[in-house]
Structure 1
Amino acid sequence: MDGRIINHDVRIPSHIVGAYSGHRQEVCGLKWSPSGQQLASGGTDNLLHIWDRRSMASVNGPTHYLHRLEDHAAAVKSIAWCPFQANLLASGSDDGIKFWNTRTGACLNSVDTGSEVCSLLWNNNERELLSSHGSPHNQLTLWKYPSMVKMVELTGHSSRVLFMAQSPDGCTVASAAGNDALRFWNVFGPVATAARAAPPFEPFAHRILIR
């Protein structure tokens, strides 16, 4: 809530090992890069910060970000590092999806999604990006990267799709909505990839309601 990011090392008793300070409001998105060398943070101040792990300071010490990215017009809630291209980051907000070169800080592309972007997930096997959304459709949208051609929309949730996670084998995506519903989608697996080549594509989904 205070805009600070605290880094913990859970392997040691004195687990608070450092901090980053730079956001002016609540931090609502965090994601380490695959290399573990950079941290991306998004806030309700509409800012996206890129931090170098080596710049982490003591809890009360000064810190300095690599980049302060100010292009978003709403809170930056969703962040996803690209698994197949170094220094490529996707971020989502109410104003759509943006792509960044985290080495230079340049905005590479911006896509108007037409609704709030709640979560982003890269396909580990193909050059695809999955986004989850709020109203009016509460859908998941699969995009082809880098053209950002919309491949398919996955519907079935009746509330904002707040979070997505990919299975260890990279084939199944679990989506969680604000009404406690979970859905499991066969959207990234070999069967789904083959089906997209011969539309219409109908992703298989299970639905679970948690109470």
Structure 2
Amino acid sequence: MREMFRDFVGKQRQCPFKGVSDAHHMSYKRFRRRIIQRSSREGPAVSTPLATEWQCELSFEFDTVCQRLELDSPPRHREPVQTVLQGNPPETALEEGMSHCGAVKTQSTPPTISARRRPVENPPEQGLVWRAAEQEHSSEQQTGSDEGRHDLQPFAILDKAAVSLQGKTVMKLAAPSLLNDYYTNVLDCSCNGVIALALGSSVYLWNSETRALAGRLDPNQQTGQPHRQSVSSLRWSRDGRALCIGTRRGEIQLWDVEKKQNMRCLPSHLSVVRALSWKQQLLSSGSVLGRIHHLDPRAPAPLVGAAIQKEAICSLQWSPGDDRLASGSADGLLHIWDSDVAGVTRSKQPITTMKQPSAVKAMGWCPWQGKMITTGGGWKDREMRIWDTQSGTCVTSANTNSQICSLRWAERKRYLVTGHGLPHHQVSTWEFPSLNPVHKLTGHSHRVLHLALNPDGTQIFSAGADQRFHIWDL
């Protein structure tokens, strides 16, 4: 700065108008001295709106904070950073203009600067690619204690045929990079016994019958981007052939696992895809902005219906008879919708709404009583409730004395299976409808975020925030 000032003074002295230059020179020195003195006392003396307008803003990958949450308090402070188009609520652009993958109709009003900076969806090359199971992976699956290792491969065996305190056999496997995020839904078992588990940005497929890794879906690395988008939800189709994957960027990818091909990329949401559910060939998805989209992957324009709720969605599930859709919100509301999904409308209202004190993330319809649904409360509530969705009343409840992170039905034994967080970090089974406890399966050292059952209901699969995957014999 001193060199620039000397150069400025030299140029002023060469000016033929000496008096003018001296006066200008002296006034500049006084002005410069005052600016420096004021900035040292009060901070920057001059600010421009351009500096704040073009500062780096939060993007869709804001969930690194959520991944570190120890409890299930909803991330309310992150809602305002989502894209808002002029004259339309968030995600309305896709609801009104989506035709096929990679194409959105032009809006009648131009988007704001913030909307123009953020891409609506990922380019196709940023999707997932199929990779076969590595040959050396089998040699690393050795029994024994590997708790101290930090380079464990996914589904590497840590402890085989161990016995828990309740006498139930259990196999412990590694699940590195599993996100400690209460609101994700990243574990599911197909009707063929194939486990799909998302670990960070990748999805691993593991055959529970052969106990072998079938393959994985990894982000395409050709773009060279160091920061990848992680998977936030996944769900098998009912026939076990297609795997649907939702990301934090709002993408939905549909994979034919038998052919190892990406069937379709569905641009659905402008926010995190938190939950997915199938109704025959129809796919329903729910986002953090409260949008429910109904998609038909067979149609040229896949969006066939939509509904909107004010609260963030953290669970979504069609009833066994496909006549009711349940959506759980982060604000503790359980909405029940009818089966009419046609049309994109904001006026559609749920037929029943029920309220509990904490987020409705753990949720499941009763397989043999289609009007009954069970929900689990978070750490502020810790209550398990069975609801009659016709009357909107709670039939029975039980205090589990622990945060409920996940919930599944074991239809063969007519049990309820729950995964718990603080303070016990266990898997529990309950009789229906009395809700009397049957088993308490211990072994996880942190909260049990996800649960799944094998097709015949004889085994429980659990994935915890301790980055361990357990198999329990029911």
What is the deviation of 1:13? 2.9
Structure 1 segments, 4+ long, off by >3 Å, are none
Counterpart in the other structure of 2:344 = 59
User: Quick check: 1:107 aligned with 2:394?
Assistant: yes
Counterpart in the other structure of 2:376 = 92
What is the deviation of 1:130? 0.8
What is the deviation of 1:183? 0.6
Q: Is the 8 A contact 2:397 2:435 kept in 1?
A: no
Counterpart in the other structure of 2:422 = 135
3-state secondary structure, aligned to 2:358: coil
What is the deviation of 1:58? 2.8
The Cα offsets for residues 132-181 of structure 1, whole Å up to 9 and x where unpaired, read as 11011110111111111111100101121111111112211111112321
Q: Compare the two structures and name the one with the higher strand fraction.
A: 1
Could you state the TM-score of these two structures normalised by the residue count of structure 2? 0.38
Q: Is the 8 A contact 1:57 1:63 kept in 2?
A: no
For 2:357 and 2:346, the matched residues in 1 are separated by: 30
Counterpart in the other structure of 1:44 = 330
Counterpart in the other structure of 1:160 = 447
Could you state the TM-score of these two structures normalised by the residue count of structure 1? 0.83
The Cα offsets for residues 91-139 of structure 1, whole Å up to 9 and x where unpaired, read as 1112211111112212101211111111111111122111111011110
For 2:445 and 2:305, the matched residues in 1 are separated by: 40
AA matched with 1:74: S
AA matched with 2:362: S
For 1:59 and 1:179, the matched residues in 2 are separated by: 41
For 1:111 and 1:11, the matched residues in 2 are separated by: 43
AA matched with 2:469: L
Q: Is the 8 A contact 1:167 1:173 kept in 2?
A: yes
Gaps of 5+ in 1: 188-211
Q: Is the 8 A contact 1:164 1:174 kept in 2?
A: yes
Question: 2:360 aligned to 71, 76, 84, which one?
Answer: 76
Identity of aligned residues (%): 39
What is the deviation of 1:11? 2.2
User: Quick check: 1:33 aligned with 2:335?
Assistant: no
Question: 2:471 aligned to 141, 166, 184, which one?
Answer: 184
Counterpart in the other structure of 2:438 = 151
What is the deviation of 1:57? 5.0
What is the deviation of 1:74? 0.6
AA matched with 1:119: S
Q: Is the 8 A contact 2:403 2:423 kept in 1?
A: no
For 1:180 and 1:83, the matched residues in 2 are separated by: 30
Pairwise CA RMSD of aligned residues? 1.4
Report the count of equivalent residues: 184
What is the deviation of 1:8? 1.5
For 2:384 and 2:452, the matched residues in 1 are separated by: 18
Q: Is the 8 A contact 1:128 1:144 kept in 2?
A: yes
AA matched with 2:408: L
Gaps of 5+ in 2: 1-287
Give the structure with higher Rg (CA).
Answer: 2
AA matched with 1:46: G
For 1:29 and 1:116, the matched residues in 2 are separated by: 16
Q: Is the 8 A contact 2:409 2:415 kept in 1?
A: yes
3-state secondary structure, aligned to 2:343: coil
